[in-house]
């Protein structure tokens, strides 16, 4: 069934006059008559009773006109959704957050993107840097927040934010009395950290900045920043944690202190697979540029 014929018939059903309907459709009247006859042959029933220029709908014709109006509205809406997806304004985006970065510019970016693209369905997940990159390469995600540096071929990324590292200490720790902590004071202190395979680049960057002369005394692993801070609250260990995550968690028994200059930092980036980048991802990147 041709949608064009149904569209012609709906206009004829509204006008009930071949000449006026043909004028609205910008076609010749004989062409309109030909399309209506073809539709009648397709349905095997007379759809209109013809008069001198004017016409009336048969019982079957009234049903066809009503159903065709619904079908055409659905087709137009579907066409618009497809066009919006092609422009990056519709469809969906499978987006992976990294466990160590929520709040701040990350959430601001996603919320602004949602506001600008209400037709896009955001399908979020949360993982560590390494699984997020693996998900991009495997096609499970369209975009992912990651912790640079990245050296994965085929993965593009842009900087979203630079976060200061804070030192998390138990409330009763002697260093908690200081406003800023030197690297020398931290050397040799028992530390807790998440496993390096979760984010090798970020792990190495933290160690290189906080313990540049050695003395990284790692005695305990925990799976994520929340568990790191819980271990700190329990006493006996300290941890270097991104400022945004540490402030968002705010666990009792933990104090946060800044380091003496140069202030250690970690990056948060937005990454995508260069081979499968979609129009929706390009719109997310455009939103990032606006920020």
> What 3 state SS string does 45-81 have?
CCCEEECCCEEEECHHHHHHHHHHHHHHHHHHHHHHH
**CATH number where 234 lies:** 3.40.190.10
Residue at a domain's end among 70, 86, 102: 86
Residue 258 and residue 177 share a domain: yes
Residue 167 and residue 229 share a domain: yes
**CATH number where 68 lies:** 1.10.10.10
Residue 137 and residue 230 share a domain: no
Residue 171 and residue 100 share a domain: no
Residue 259 and residue 167 share a domain: yes
Residue at a domain's end among 63, 86, 109: 86
Residue 212 and residue 183 share a domain: yes
- Three-state DSSP class for 231? helix
Kindly report, residue by residue over 111-141, the tens digit of the pLDDT. 999 999 888 899 999 988 889 999 999 999 9
Residue 142 and residue 273 share a domain: yes
pLDDT at 248: 80
Residue 173 and residue 29 share a domain: no
pLDDT at 286: 94
**How far, in Å, CA of 20 to CA of 23, rounded?**
5
Residue at a domain's end among 36, 58, 86: 86
Kindly report, residue by residue over 185-238, the tens digit of the pLDDT. 999 999 999 999 988 889 999 999 999 999 999 999 999 888 999 999 999 999
Nearest CA to 199 out of 130, 151, 135, 125 is that of 130
Residue 250 and residue 108 share a domain: no
Count how many domains the chain has. 3
Residue 144 and residue 107 share a domain: yes
Residue 97 and residue 118 share a domain: yes
The angle subtended at Cα 199 by Cα 108 and Cα 132, nearest 5°, is: 60
* Residue 62 pLDDT class (50, 70, 90 cuts): very high
pLDDT at 187: 97
8 A C-beta contact, residue 248 and residue 103: yes
Residue 261 and residue 240 share a domain: yes
Kindly report, residue by residue over 97-113, the tens digit of the pLDDT. 987 776 678 989 999 99
pLDDT at 89: 63
DSSP β-ladder status, 92-98 and 143-146 = parallel
Q: pTM (2 decimals)?
A: 0.67
Q: Which segments within the chain are labelled E, that is strand?
A: 48-50, 55-57, 92-98, 121-127, 143-146, 155-170, 180-181, 190-193, 217-221, 239-242, 254-259, 265-273
Domain residue limits at 126: 92-159+268-290
């Amino acid at each position: 069934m041709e949608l064009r014929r149904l569209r012609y018939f709906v206009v004829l059903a509204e006008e009930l006059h071949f000449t006026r309907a043909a004028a609205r459709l910008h076609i010749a009247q004989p062409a309109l008559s030909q399309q209506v006859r073809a539709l009648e042959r397709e349905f095997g029933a007379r759809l209109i009773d013809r008069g001198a220029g004017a016409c009336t709908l048969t019982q079957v014709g009234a049903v066809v006109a009503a159903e065709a109006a619904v079908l055409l509205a659905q087709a137009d809406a579907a066409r618009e959704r497809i066009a919006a997806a092609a422009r990056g304004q519709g469809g969906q985006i499978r987006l992976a957050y990294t466990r160590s970065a929520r709040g701040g510019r990350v959430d601001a970016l996603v919320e602004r993107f949602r506001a600008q693209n209400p037709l896009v369905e955001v399908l979020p997940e949360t993982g560590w840097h390494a699984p997020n990159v693996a998900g991009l390469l495997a096609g499970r995600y369209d975009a992912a927040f990651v912790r640079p540096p990245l050296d994965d071929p085929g993965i593009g990324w842009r900087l979203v934010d630079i976060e200061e590292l804070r030192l998390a200490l138990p409330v009763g720790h002697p260093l908690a009395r200081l406003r800023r902590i030197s690297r020398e004071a931290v050397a040799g202190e028992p530390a807790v950290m998440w496993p390096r395979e979760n984010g090798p680049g970020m792990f190495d960057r933290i160690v290189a900045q906080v313990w540049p002369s050695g003395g990284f005394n790692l005695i305990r692993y925990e799976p994520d920043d929340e568990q790191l801070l819980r271990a700190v609250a329990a006493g006996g260990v300290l941890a270097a944690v991104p400022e945004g995550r540490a402030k968002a968690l705010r666990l009792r028994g933990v104090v946060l202190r800044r380091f003496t200059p140069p202030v250690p930092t970690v990056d948060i980036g937005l990454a995508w697979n260069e081979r499968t980048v979609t129009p929706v991802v390009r719109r997310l990147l455009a939103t990032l540029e606006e920020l």
